[in-house]
Structure 1
Amino acid sequence: MKTSLILTLVGPDSPGLVSTVAARARAAGGNWLESRMAQLAGQFAGVVLLEVDADKADTLEAALRELEGDGLQVQLQRGSERPAAAQHPVVLDLVGHDRPGIVQDITAVLSRHGVSVETLETACEPGSMNGEPMFRAKARLGVPEGLDLHTVQDDLEALANELMVDLELHDPLQEPPEAVA
């Protein structure tokens, strides 16, 4: 039987850090399934999904906890075995002038409709025309089966107008995307 292990790391970045994590996982019989890693504000931050035989999970956890001696904050969580509710994938793309609260405002609408955020990538970068900070977000959403996506889209359209952002909500299984402004 296999066990999922979710590893979160935060700490000083250094060459070879990812290789060290991967080597410890491999040595303990772990299989690296998914990860998201970035250097943020001079620090390394990463989330990794590992899979390991259940009888080797404690060995893998101990090997990964040894990384704390290198100045890393290490969090480990075993995955749950409960089946996920049926969800329909939808992609959300957003761009607009940066301001505090965009993520909270958008996710509040999604939460109200029972839509889960499966992945979220954001960045703040200079605009091409005037150099003003532009906020960009791309999210993969899980929409509960049976939920009318047009209702969610209507609420997002109202918010997009208020926030003055451009927003696209589209089904990756169907094209073309619908622009919301």
Structure 2
Amino acid sequence: MKPIILTLIGNDKPGLIESLAQKVYSIEGNWLSSNFSHMAGQFAGFVELNIPADKHQGFVEYLNSHPDLTIHSVSTESADESSDNVAQIEIIGNDKPGIVQELTSVLHGFNINIVKFTSGCESAPNWGSLLFKAQATVTIPEGFDTDQLTGALEGVANDLVVDVTIK
């Protein structure tokens, strides 16, 4: 089996995931993980698959000719698992331009890798303004001082609430 990562985008409509899943099944591939979203009328997502090595080229040709999706594929080798700890960071605050840039700049300053990041805005109860929420899964080195990270993240804006949980 050969690992492959796909990014997908196209006009949202029923059957997009099914068409891809059907092709993966037909070539005896294995669907490992995925994440899909509807954004601004578009379907977007990414998928991690294992494809039999002898069917890899034909699968890539199928991806390049998919009628409804623009698909980018990257073949990869299995990654070594890191010995770093995983931390969950939750951020909530009044929405304003630059929050993601400020947060990622702090994480980069500590040389912390983001392995998953989700964010969105919703109406704040009782205020009527937008509330920004984000969840990040990051890897941190053994013995890292998370209080220092929490302080730095809270320091980027005085209206953010930050919670860091090490797992």
- TM-score after normalising by structure 1: 0.85
1:14-163 equivalences in 2 (<5 Å):
14-67=13-66, 69-70=67-68, 72-161=69-158
How many Å separate the matches in 2 of 1:55 and 1:148? Answer: 47
CA RMSD of aligned residues (A): 1.6
Q: Specify the alignment match of 1:177 in structure 2.
A: none
Query: 1:167 and 2:157 equivalent?
Result: no
Unaligned 5+ residue runs, structure 2? Answer: none
Unaligned 5+ residue runs, structure 1? Answer: 174-181
How many Å separate the matches in 1 of 2:58 and 2:10? Answer: 23
How many Å separate the matches in 2 of 1:122 and 1:50? Answer: 25
Displacement of 1:23: 0.6
Aligned residues of 1:85 and 1:144 also touching (Cα < 8 A)? no
How many Å separate the matches in 1 of 2:109 and 2:53? Answer: 37
Displacement of 1:47: 0.4
Q: 1 or 2 for the larger relative contact order (CA 8 Å, sep ≥6)?
A: 2
Amino acid across the alignment from 1:14: K
Number of equivalenced pairs: 167
Task: Choose 152-161 or 123-132, whichever is displaced more.
Answer: 152-161
Deviations 1:113-160 (A, max 9, x none): 111111111111111112211111011111123433233223123224
How many Å separate the matches in 2 of 1:118 and 1:104? Answer: 16
Task: Choose 111-120 or 53-62, whichever is displaced more.
Answer: 53-62
Aligned residues of 1:28 and 1:63 also touching (Cα < 8 A)? no
How many Å separate the matches in 1 of 2:126 and 2:2? Answer: 50
Identity of matched residues, %: 32
Aligned residues of 1:28 and 1:59 also touching (Cα < 8 A)? no
Q: SS where residue 150 of structure 1 aligns?
A: helix
Aligned residues of 1:120 and 1:140 also touching (Cα < 8 A)? yes
Displacement of 1:81: 4.1
Find runs of 4+ consecutive structure 1 residues off by over 6 angstroms: none
